């Protein structure tokens, strides 16, 4: 007879579920060993005994600008007002109505404010005659009786043209530990879901038949006399009984195991992070050799 409790107890749940969990633990262990082997084989140089002795470095060479490019400047002439004076008329001043001393062939253009004070001056022509700083004095005669002359003083500055200065570069060499620029595999099993479905089907068949056969035969003979009774009886009997029974039972078991594993890239362990910090602090650029100076190509107008 089908017994569900007995059938369920016969299932090796410990092996089914335990096997799945052992597989997850084994996978995590293999992942850790892979990380260790990666660090030892890729990030470090090993001696003849297979022990890590020093990190593997990658050399980078690059030009470093130590002096920027300075564009050339054209010749410049500009004026500074030392004393703007007072009472000047701009039209007369630009038309040559005032005495200008020290110009020596240099033509200036002036801007006068509302009070007749020279506010600005600029060189119009003759800048080639200026060598260094030149002081110009402009005199305005007093218009009233007894009024003193008014003088304005302007200094003309000449800044010579400068050629473009090319940039200066220095070849630098940078040694970078390989472990600081490649991703290190730190795979961690974040979660594991195990779903086990068990389905038990039972079919029970029973059949029984019974048959009884009785065969009898009686032969009797009798004779009688006057005072006495005499009888002879012969009886033949046969009995047959047949019983047939059959039964069958079929139990089907179906198992369905579904395992979901969620693996993530884990954070760098504290110890490994400290090692990487030390390696990063050791990255110091070093001078390789100077390269020729050059200026960038001119920009098309």
Mean pLDDT of 251-274: 76
Q: Is the pLDDT of residue 229 over 60?
A: no
Count Cα atoms within 13 angstroms, Cβ side, for 146: 0
108 vs 199 pLDDT, higher one? 108
Tokens of 225: 């006399």
pLDDT at 7 exceeding the cut of 80 = no
Percentage of the chain beyond pLDDT 70 is 71
140 lies in some domain: yes
Domain carrying residue 82: 76-159
Domain assignment present for residue 96? The answer is yes
Give how many domains the chain has, as a whole number. Answer: 1
Cα 22 to chain centroid distance, Å, stands at: 33
The two counts, helices (H) then strands (E), for the chain are 4, 13
DSSP E strand boundaries for 116-275: 118-125, 134-140, 150-159, 168-177, 187-224, 229-265
113 or 259, which is more confident? 113
pLDDT of residue 215: 55
Q: Which residue has the higher pLDDT, 185 or 246?
A: 185
pLDDT for 239: 57
Q: pLDDT band for position 295 (50/70/90)?
A: very low
Residue 80 lies in a domain: yes
Judge whether 296 lies within some domain: no
pLDDT of residue 226: 45
Mean of the pLDDT values across residues 223-228?
A: 48
Mean pLDDT of 30-56: 84
Is 207 within a domain? Answer: no
Candidate from 47-61, 199-213, 222-236 with smallest mean pLDDT: 222-236
Give the pLDDT mean for 264-290: 76
pLDDT at 197: 79
Per-residue pLDDT at 177: 87
pLDDT per residue as tens digits for the range 141-171 = 655 455 566 788 988 888 888 888 898 888 8
Pairing of strands 99-101, 107-112: unpaired
Cross-strand partners of 243: 210
Rounded to the nearest integer, the mean pLDDT of the chain is: 76
Q: Is residue 155 part of a domain?
A: yes
Residue 249 inside a domain? The answer is no
Q: Is residue 110 part of a domain?
A: yes
What's the DSSP call for residue 298?
A: P
Q: Residue written as tokens 């030149």?
A: 134
Tell me if residue 107 falls in helix, strand or coil: strand
Q: What is the pLDDT of residues 65-88, one digit of tens each?
A: 888 988 888 888 888 998 888 878
Tokens at 186, concatenated: 């730190």
């Amino acid at each position: 007879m089908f017994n569900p409790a007995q059938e369920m107890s016969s299932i090796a749940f410990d092996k089914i579920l335990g096997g799945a969990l052992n597989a997850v633990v084994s996978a995590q262990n293999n992942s850790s060993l892979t990380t260790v082997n990666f660090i030892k084989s890729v990030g470090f140089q090993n001696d003849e005994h297979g022990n890590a002795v020093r990190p593997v470095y990658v050399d980078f060479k690059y030009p470093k600008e130590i002096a920027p490019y300075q564009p050339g400047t054209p010749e410049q002439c500009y004026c500074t007002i030392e004393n703007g004076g007072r009472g000047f008329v701009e039209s007369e001043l630009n038309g040559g109505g005032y005495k200008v001393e020290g110009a020596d062939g240099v033509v200036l253009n002036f801007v006068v404010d509302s009070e007749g004070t020279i506010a600005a001056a600029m060189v119009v022509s003759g800048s080639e005659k200026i060598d260094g700083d030149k002081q110009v004095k402009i005199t305005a005669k007093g218009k009233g009786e007894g009024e003193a002359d008014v003088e304005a003083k302007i200094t003309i500055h000449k800044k010579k043209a400068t050629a473009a200065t090319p940039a200066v570069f220095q070849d630098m060499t940078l040694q970078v530990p390989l472990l600081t620029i490649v991703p290190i595999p730190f795979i961690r099993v974040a979660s594991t879901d195990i779903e086990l479905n068990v389905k038990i089907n039972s079919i029970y068949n029973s059949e029984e038949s019974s048959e009884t056969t009785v065969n009898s035969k009686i032969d009797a003979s009798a004779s009688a006399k006057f005072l006495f009774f005499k009888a002879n009886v012969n009886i033949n009997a046969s009995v047959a009984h047949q019983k047939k029974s059959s039964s069958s039972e079929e139990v089907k078991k179906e198992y369905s195991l579904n395992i979901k594993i969620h693996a993530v890239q884990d954070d760098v362990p504290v110890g490994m992070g400290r090692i990487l910090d030390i390696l990063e602090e050791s990255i110091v650029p070093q001078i390789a050799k100077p390269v020729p100076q050059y200026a960038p190509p001119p920009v098309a107008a």
